[in-house]
Homo-oligomer: A and B are copies of this chain.
Amino acid sequence: MPVETIDRLASELDAQAKTVSAEVDRFFATLLAPTEDSRERFSEAMRHAAIGGGKRLRPLLTVAASRLFAIDRERALRVGCAIEAIHVYSLIHDDLPCMDDAELRRGKATVHKAFGEAAAVLAGDSLHALAFEILASPATHEDPWVRSDLVLELARAAGPNGMAGGQMMDLAAEGQELDLRSITRLQQLKTGALIEYAVEAACIMIKMPADARTPYRGYARNIGLAFQIADDLLDTSGDAAAAGKPTGRDANAGKATFVSLLGEERARQQAGVLVNQAIEHLSGHGSEADLLRAIARFAIERDH
């Protein structure tokens, strides 16, 4: 790829990532506006978790995938925010003392550290319900088939056969030696399912038949694993400022990761292979897929 193209893609991605982040913040600021009763402290806990943090990779993916089919940006953003609500709730619960017992998230105190454990449980549960309220609202799409299918697939991606199932596998793996196949399966559920949904949601919004979605799911599956490897590399490299949370946690916990199993060099190579495969899945598209290509190419080089 010519250097000018690479530069153009990188700066386009930067601009889009900033725009989407600001839009997601605005969306949550409206959705989670202060209440005038005793729920306010919990509402504040939700805003603390949902506003002003993270790279917003999932909404960015939905916005980028929506470009392939010229889907209205507002709609794509609403779907992206529903996914982000699920992602944020899972981080809140994952950080709880009985789970990862984390003190920092996205450079801020975790919700239970700032607001107490009960508030963290309820703030997470509330964001979980809100995600489905967003998707099922006519403002997201005028076609009830689309709304219903968006809900069905998000529920699958978030539940025991998706994200929550991956978290279960992760907990069950403590003190166990997982092999590459088990780690891959675990990550495909824990983080991959939601990333795949973020791309597939665009296909659902144009009512694309399930069997035509293969390349888009393939793209998402490849970058999902590439992101995980990048995350493991970041955890190993120990740059807590870039990660926005303490690093070295996996190694300290004796957890197998892509890096511990493959070594840094091979893990880095593997991420590169996955990125190339992801981009190949988009070969049927022209410049409308450039943002997805840029996400694959550059997003793994940063904290997310």
Contacts and interface: CB of A to CB of B under 8 A. Distances in A.
Contact of A148 (B125, B148, B156, B171): B148
A89 B124 CA distance: 13
Contact of A133 (B89, B121, B147, B155): B155
Contacts of A145: 144
A164 interface: yes
B171 A118 contact: yes
Interface stretch (A15-23, A35-43, A68-76, A250-258): A35-43
Contacts of A118: 98-99, 171
Interface in A115-171: 116-119, 121-122, 124-126, 128-130, 132-133, 135-137, 143-145, 147-149, 151-152, 154-156, 158-160, 162, 164-165, 167-169, 171
A173 interface: yes
Contact of A98 (B46, B89, B99, B121): B121
A243 to B, nearest CB: 23
A132 B144 contact: no
Most chain B C-beta atoms within 10 Å of own C-beta, residue among A37, A145, A155, A160: A160
A254 to B, nearest CB: 17
Contacts of A98: 116-118, 121
A1 interface: no
Contact of A156 (B37, B133, B156, B158): B133
What copy number does this chain have within its complex? 2
Contact of A136 (B39, B89, B137, B155): B155
Contacts of A39: 160, 165, 168-169, 172
A96 interface: yes
A245 interface: no
A183 to B, nearest CB: 12
Interface in A83-101: 89-90, 93, 96, 98-99
Given A121-B98, A121-B121, A132-B151, A159 B126 contact: yes
9 contacts: A37-B169, A38-B173, A39-B172, A41-B172, A42-B160, A125-B125, A128-B128, A129-B160, A144-B148
Given A46-B160, A137-B152, 17 more contacts: A38-B172, A38-B173, A42-B160, A93-B125, A96-B121, A121-B121, A122-B167, A126-B159, A129-B160, A130-B155, A132-B132, A132-B155, A133-B155, A136-B151, A136-B155, A144-B147, A148-B151
